[in-house]
Amino acid sequence: MSFPLDRLALQLDWNLLLTFMVIVQERSITGAAQRLNVSQPSVSSALRRLEERLDQRLIDRGGGQAFRVTRAGEAVYREVLEIYGGVVRLNDLTADGGRALSGTVVVHRSSHLEMDDITPCWKSFAASIPT
């Protein structure tokens, strides 16, 4: 069974989304250009292409220092953060043979509760975790 692919998903350049994310975070096209180590016209062009592709104005660029993310821009920014987070998590999923989770488990117990039945379960769990 095959599913139709959305045209936007097939044609949208990830770099446009990344550039937009940095523009919003820096609150400046010039600042985004510096952070991305590209020219200011490249960042402006990327923003214009993304706005054209989405058919939405994402940033209001007024005279002087005026910079405002539009309502549509705020919505797109939230989605871009989700996408960016997913891309970052892909790296975590493929690192170390695909282990997705790592960390420390801390269990607290009250001294007045009987824990004899759970202790063997915890020991078995701890033994199954590679160190």
Would you write out the chain's pLDDT as a tens digit for each of its 131 residues?
556 667 777 778 889 999 999 999 999 999 999 999 999 999 999 999 999 999 999 999 776 567 899 999 999 999 999 988 888 888 777 766 655 566 676 766 666 666 677 778 777 877 877 66
The pTM (predicted TM-score) of the whole model is 0.66
DSSP letter string over 80-103? HHHHHHHHHHHHHHHGGGG-----
How many domains, in total, are found in the chain? Answer: 1
**Of 9, 7, 33, 39, which Cα lies nearest the Cα of 19?**
33
CATH number for 36: 1.10.10.10
What are the two backbone dihedrals, phi and then psi, of residue 60, each rounded to the nearest 5 degrees?
-90, 120
* Rounded-to-integer distance, Cα 100 and Cα 14, Å: 24
In which domain, by residue range, is 45 found? 7-101
pLDDT number for residue 41: 95
67: Cβ contacts below 8 Å, ≥ 6 apart = 27, 28, 59, 60, 61
The answer as to whether 65 is a domain residue is: yes
The answer as to whether 83 is a domain residue is: yes
The answer as to whether 19 is a domain residue is: yes
